Amino acid sequence: ERERRRSKRGKERGCEYILRIMSANSRTFFVGGNWKCNGGNELVKKLVGELNQLSLPGQVEVVISPPSLYLERIRNEIRKEIAVSAQDVHFQKGAFTGAISTDMLKDLSIPWVILGHSERRVVFKDTDEIIGKKIAASLEAGLNIIPCIGELLEEREANRTNAVIETQLKAVVQNIKDQSVYAKRVVIAYEPVWAIGTGKTATPEQAQEVHQFIRSWLKQNLSEEVAKSVRIIYGGSVNPKNADDLSKQPDVDGFLVGGCSLKANEFGDIISAAKQKSQPNKL
């Protein structure tokens, strides 16, 4: 009887894995490049020229996010297969010195915006409440969003990763009123703060564990359709050496890349990891 139950559990886990793989293959792989506060005229010219020459695999959505001063120029010069994103936006317009409004991004035909990146949370003190307002304003303006969530090192070491992720997720979903937008206009980025710019990377198993938690939470709190359709990408010292193994995880739907997005050949290698999605690990 014990062997029968063990065999049944094994089959159930196998079926669950296959279903996750099938769902993963229905989601378009997404690779974002966050240039952060880097670049100048020479880098923009060189990098855009090299990106325009890259060989891109099919079935992958590529978005680059340069500093705001270069958004319009890069949108005009980059190939049509690569979209452009802002790195942040304010939820109001008017007397907010230094801010960028959603109307301004729409005026420049910038389709995407990153929201709640850990550097915005830690350095600029963006709270969940502020990020939620930015999410609501961006979607209302017709922008596509990349909300970022992730735990600090001390939170992971205290076994609070899931609790932190849940709190941040709530702030995201509470400000998305139309569930139909999740499939195409929302890409959730899991970025463990301890892995951003440190050279440390979550193992494929660690990344999958959190991504699976996010998808399960969305299924329980929103719907199975949202959980299956929304893309959940990983960020945190992604590079050409680890991208293939990370991309093979069934709930990892792409990457938000930092430093390597400033090097066209390395960014191209990471984009090519999309091919691994059709070659999942054996059971």
What are the residue numbers of the active site? 117, 191
Which strand (E) or helix (H) includes residue 18? Answer: helix 2-25
Compute the chain's Rg from CA coordinates: 19
> Could you tell me the two tokens for 37?
């506060």
Burial class (CB in 10 A: 0-12, 13-18, 19+), 218: buried
Q: How far apart are CA 204 and CA 222, in angstroms?
A: 26
Q: How far apart are CA 106 and CA 246, in angstroms?
A: 34
Burial class (CB in 10 A: 0-12, 13-18, 19+), 57: middle
